[in-house]
Amino acid sequence: MRRVSAFNLVSLAVGIAFLYLPIVVLVIYSFNASRLVAVWGGWSLHWYAVLIHDAALIDAASISIRLALLSASAATVLGMLAALALVRFGRFRGRLLFAAMIYAPLVMPEVITGLSLLLLFVAVAADRGFWTVAIAHTTMAMCFVTVIVQSRLADFDRSLEEAAMDLGASPLKTFFAVTLPLILPAVIAAWMLAFALSLDDLVIASFTTGPGATTLPIRIYSEVRLGVKPEMNAVCSIMIAVIAIAVIAASLFGKLTTARGGPGRVQS
């Protein structure tokens, strides 16, 4: 029996309002017909129209999306391997170092990771561009993936894996037939997180990119550091809408599969 006190309700309401206010304001102003933010010129789709003709912006968006897809997938695979290593393989040589390398990037300021990766690429005389940013994003994101998958694996019922092996499935087969289907929601959530991190990243991309690989955040940043621009409001509103839809769809899908008795938190 949980009683929600008035204080709790108020703090919840205030907290949630605080979180959404700026986003709401930004979206509203993207429809502002007037260029001057101070003046409300009525509802207009003008700035969205401008966007469509901004080739550089669309190019940047396409680069960002491709980058995010690639690095999210790579990070998910690497992160899953790392999580398996940490949870399943007990003590192995270098485990402490391994764990430190996994957790450190999580809290390390991005300027530092960005700086260090750039210096690496320069030291090996690599051509900086799409691929260097991809490597950087993969490295940054895999740590988040590891943390998410690791906590799911730790909760996982080991006897299911033992049962599969007992019935003749090799360890590899066991992973794909039993473990993976049951941790899939966590893996997907981790992939989405990696995707969002890559799509959003400004600092690391700035350090590790090269000519011809301008990402969307870099473009947006170079525009807005001089002040508010309505086209940017429109870009941001689109990004917000896309992400909101994706996240809500994902959580609804998650609820749906749990309800149908599929792999969900309840069973194992």
Partner 1 sequence: MTKLGHGSFLQKLVVRVPFIWLLAFFLLPFAIVLKISLSQTAIARPPYTPVLDLTAGWHGVTAFFGGLSFDNYALIGGDPLYVLSYLKSVEIAAFATLMLLVVGYPVAYAIARTSPRWQAVLVLLVILPFWTSLLIRVYAWMNILQRDGLLNDVLMALSLVKTPPAWLATDTAIYIGIVYSYLPFMVLPLYATLEKLDQSLLEAAADLGCPRWKAFWLVTLPLSSSGVIAGVLLCFIPIVGEFVIPDLLGGSRAPMIGQTIWVEFFGNQDWPAASAVAIVLVCLLVTPIVIYQHQAMRAAERD
Partner 2 sequence: MTRPGFAPWTDPNLRPLLRIEAVSRRFGGFAAVDSLSLDIYESEFFALLGPSGCGKTTLLRLIAGFERPNAGRILLDGVDLTSVPPHRRPVNMMFQSYALFPHLNVEANIAFGLKQEGLPRDQIARRVADMLALVKLDTYGARKPSELSGGQRQRVALARALVKRPRVLLLDEPMAALDKKLRGETQFELMELQRRLGLTFIIVTHDQSEAMTVADRIAVMERGRLMQVAPPAEIYERPNSRWVADFIGEVNVFEGRLGDDGMTVDGTTAGRLRLAAKADAEPGRIVFVAVRPEKVRMSREPPLPGLDNSVPATVMDIGYLGEMSIYKLRIRDGVVKAAIANTGGGAQRPASFGDEVWLSWPPDAAIVLTR
Which residues ranging from 165 to 224 are in contact with partner 1 (CB under 8 A)?
171-172, 174, 196, 199-200, 202-203, 206-207, 217, 220-221, 224
Among partner 2, partner 1, none, the one that 65 touches (CB under a kind-dependent 5 to 8 A) is none
Report the residue number, 3 or 91, with the smaller CB distance to partner 2.
91
Angle between helices 180-200 and 230-259 (to 10 degrees): 170
Report the residue number, 167 or 228, with the smaller CB distance to partner 1.
228
Please say whether the beta carbons of 85 and 98 come within 8 A.
yes
Contact call for residue 245 and partner 1 (CB under 8 A): no
Segment contacting partner 1 by CB under 8 A, of 46-54, 55-63, 65-73, 110-118: 110-118
Query: ∠ CA 19-23-25 to the nearest 5 degrees?
Result: 115
Contact call for residue 240 and partner 1 (CB under 8 A): yes
Among partner 1, partner 2, none, the one that 167 touches (CB under a kind-dependent 5 to 8 A) is partner 2
Segment contacting partner 1 by CB under 8 A, of 41-49, 51-59, 132-140, 180-188: 132-140
Q: What is the residue type of 60?
A: A
Residues contributing to the site for partner 2 (CB under 8 A) = 157, 159-160, 162-171, 173-174, 177-178, 181-182, 261-263, 266-268
Among partner 2, partner 1, none, the one that 119 touches (CB under a kind-dependent 5 to 8 A) is partner 1
- How many Å apart are CA 50 and CA 174, to the nearest integer? 53
Report the residue number, 34 or 258, with the smaller CB distance to partner 2.
258
Q: How far is the CB of 183 from partner 1 (least distance, A)?
A: 14
Among partner 2, partner 1, none, the one that 163 touches (CB under a kind-dependent 5 to 8 A) is partner 2
- How many Å apart are CA 186 and CA 83, to the nearest integer? 12
In this structure, the number of other CB atoms found within 10 A of the CB of residue 8 comes to: 11
Report the residue number, 53 or 225, with the smaller CB distance to partner 1.
225
Task: Choose among 70, 64, 83, 68: nearest CA to 187.
Answer: 83
